Amino acid sequence: MNQFAADRAPSTPAVLLDLAVRVAREAAATARRMRAGAIGDVGTKSTATDVVTAADKAVERQVVEALLAARPGDGVLGEEYGTSETAQPGAVRWILDPIDGTVNYLYGLPQYAVSLAAELEGVVVAGVVVNAATGDEWTATRGGGAWRGDRRLRGSAPAGLGQALIGTGFGYDARRRAHQGRVVAELLPQVRDIRRLGAAALDLCAVAEGALDGYYEKGLNPWDWAAGGLVATEAGITVAGLRGAAPGLDMLVAAPPVIFEPLHDALAELDAAGGP
Ligand code: IPD
């Protein structure tokens, strides 16, 4: 542990974002480069459909090494290896999904991403999502707006829930999916249409730039939504749970203020946060 380096490392959102972008771009390049070999080396996690490839693990190791080389006092929470190291008090906790959309990665659908966020004292202050298949990039700093390149993002302004295109996702547990399927079947007649794109981080960035009007999912982990949640929030999107709860494992709803309430109420009515 290099205390000197940790003490000296500045932790402004802009500095953290700069590092995050550099590291995430290199990680995305690794994911893309490794794909042909990695999809032949696939394991499973919570269920037979919850896959992990050699690239998920290699990319996570690469990111952890790069972050801790630059900022030795920080901690990293990653999807594949959990917490890499106990962070110093007041240090940054990085939250990483090395490949969000692993099933898309496996099948070659160009919708998988590196998601990396920096959290200070429990608050995400910087985040980047890089679509590893296309190179598209979304960034945000707390209070500094959400950006795709030099375009500031502001979400969409749908006329109402009935005209809204809503994204969602499903967990890997069959019983949870059965509940999620019932909820989405009841929501479908109330909205313009439903999309299931397969990578939560990219779904949130899509809401930020107005390519979706809203998104909800039960069962997301911090690495799925830490960076994309900041991008959406900074684009003026309301990101919350149901009935005043914070967004998290039970439910995350992201929508422009104009349709947040009707979407929230429809999901609450359907007990979208309930079930297994
Ligand atoms: C998954 C994706 C998917 C969402 C799942 C997540 P992973 O992440 O974000 O869209 O519906 O809930 O677990 O497993 O590909 O990193």
**DSSP output for 121-157:** TTEEEEEEEEETTT--EEEEETTTEEEETTEEP----
Burial of 209 (0-12, 13-18, 19+ CB in 10 A): buried
**Which pTM does this prediction carry?**
0.95
Question: At the topology level of CATH, where does 3-150 sit?
Answer: Fructose-1,6-Bisphosphatase; Chain A, domain 1 (3.30.540)
Residue 5 is predicted with a pLDDT of 46
Distance CA 116, CA 190 (A): 34
CA 56 to ligand 1 center in whole angstroms: 13
* Distance of CA 129 from the midpoint of ligand 1 (Å): 14
Taking the CA of residue 221 as reference, the ligand 1 atom at the shortest distance is 13
Q: What separation in Å is there between the alpha carbon of 199 and the centre of ligand 1?
A: 5
Rounded (5°) CA angle 72-74-79: 115
Instruction: Say how many residues make up the chain.
Output: 276
Q: Residue 220 C-alpha to ligand 1 middle, in angstroms? A: 7
Secondary structure of residue 202 in the 3-state scheme? helix
pLDDT of residue 6: 45
Atom of ligand 1 nearest to the CA of 169: 11
CB < 8 Å & 24+ apart, contacts of 74-77:
74/6, 74/9, 77/222, 77/223
- Residue-level pLDDT at 129: 98
Position 87 scores a pLDDT of 62
Q: Which atom of ligand 1 is the closest one to the Cα of 102?
A: 15
- Closest Cα to atom 2 of ligand 1: 199
Residue with tokens 């998988």: 112
Q: Which fold has domain 161-269?
A: D-Maltodextrin-Binding Protein; domain 2 (3.40.190)
**Domain ranges (residues) in the chain:** 3-150, 161-269
pLDDT tens digits along 240-256: 999 999 999 999 999 99
Q: What is the pLDDT of residue 85?
A: 58
Nearest-atom number in ligand 1 for the CA of 112 is 15
79 CA from centroid of ligand 1 (Å): 11
Q: Which has the closest alpha carbon to 215: 234, 191, 185, 189?
A: 191
Which stretches in the chain have pLDDT values below 50? 1-6
